[in-house]
Amino acid sequence: MDRLLSAGHNVDVLDSFQTGNRKNLPNGPGGIRRLIEQDVAEPFSGKYRGIFHLACPASPAHYQASPIKTFQTAVWGTHQVLENARMSGARVVIASTSEIYGNPHEHPQTEAYFGNVNPIGLRSCYDEGKRGGETLAMDYARVHGVDARIVRIFNTYGPRMLFNDGRVVSNFCHQGLIGKPLTVYGKGEQTRSFCFVSDMVEGLIRAMEVPVFESPVNLGNPDEYTVLELAKMVLEVLDANLEIRFLPLPSDDPVRRKPDISKARRLLSWEPLIPVQEGILKTIQEFRTRLANHGA
């Protein structure tokens, strides 16, 4: 949103604020044109040139809290966005997820990999919901000619994340700042890739702007870290000597996660620029400021 506004675009925001925060909306001159406060799974009006469809709880803590609602958002919400695009002629960038790969048997994950997903597990509302959203997008493209562009987003982090987001970077940064043990699930040997938010925004903008797109496209940082390595990095940035507490591994938690971004490099001339340690520092600085302002 900030990037679009700074470039002079008129921006409408649709948000139910299930996990969003109104404080992130700019006020006054140069702010958004219209706030549509509703569920994305309900029909909405408006004629647009481009739509970024990012709506859906994305952390296990949030999407498992209301699994039926999560599935409806991922599938019915995508349907409403595609219907608007069909009627208005808008181009759509649809935020899918690396979770469609499940617990992968292929490493790193390319867009050609069909995944290894449990369709009836605790994470299925999100994983299968996003897979269903991709199906709808491709069928709208084939049947109705909608310019629907699927990006599969890998772990992304940065300022403005909720403290109780439930994802590993926000967990570690918040726990470290308030002096609590860092909670690591399993032995911390599972791997993830961490992309700073400004790099991800750049990838999303390019996905919208390029003349030719080939869905789907992975967006993420190909640098791979174990969760335990990340915990130690956060403690190093904080210069803190805190306990790392190990808890049981959740069900269906992917063992390895790393994107192959060859396609993004070719189509979008895109790759992440912010090293993980630098991004962690930026995130901690913003978290610290918010905590100082009454824990806002």
Walking along the chain (296 residues) 10 residues at a time, the average pLDDT comes out as 89 88 74 90 93 89 87 95 96 97 95 95 93 98 98 96 88 95 94 96 98 97 96 95 92 89 98 97 96 76
Contacts of 87 (CB under 8 A, 6+ apart): none
DSSP assignment letter at 73:
I
Q: Contacts from 28-34 at CB under 8 Å and sequence distance 24+?
A: 30/5, 31/5, 32/1, 32/5
DSSP assignment letter at 196:
E
Give the C-alpha separation, 76 to 72, whole Å.
5
User: Angle at the Cα of 198 (from 193 to 204), degrees rounded to 5?
Assistant: 85
Q: Determine if residue 222 is left, alpha or beta; phi over 0 gives left, psi from -120 to 50 gives alpha, anything else beta.
A: alpha
196 in Cβ contact with 279 (< 8 Å): yes
Q: What are phi and psi of 218, to 5 degrees?
A: -70, 135
The DSSP H or E segment spanning 129 is helix 124-144
Give the C-alpha separation, 122 to 112, whole Å.
25
Q: What is the pLDDT of residue 164?
A: 78
User: Angle at the Cα of 195 (from 259 to 67), degrees rounded to 5?
Assistant: 80
Structure tokens at 271: 């790759």
Structure tokens at 105: 């048997």
Q: Verify whether residue 126 is a known catalytic residue.
A: yes
How are the residues of the chain apportioned to helix, strand and coil, as percentages rounded to the nearest 5? 40, 15, 45
Decide: helix, strand or coil at residue 233: helix
Range of the domain at 257: 2-292
Q: Which residue has the tokens 């900030």?
A: 2
Beta strands in 28-147 (DSSP E): 34-36, 50-53, 91-97
Q: Residues, the chain, total?
A: 296
CATH number at 103 reads 3.40.50.720
Question: How many structural domains compose the chain?
Answer: 1
Q: What is the pLDDT of residue 175?
A: 95
What is the distance between the terminal CA atoms of the chain, rounded to a whole angstrom? 21
Q: Output the CA torsion sign for 102, 131, 93, 266.
A: positive
Q: What is the pLDDT of residue 141?
A: 98
Q: What is the pLDDT of residue 188?
A: 94
Helices (H), 145-275: 168-177, 197-209, 227-238, 262-268
Catalytic residue among 63, 101, 126, 140: 126
80 in Cβ contact with 40 (< 8 Å): yes
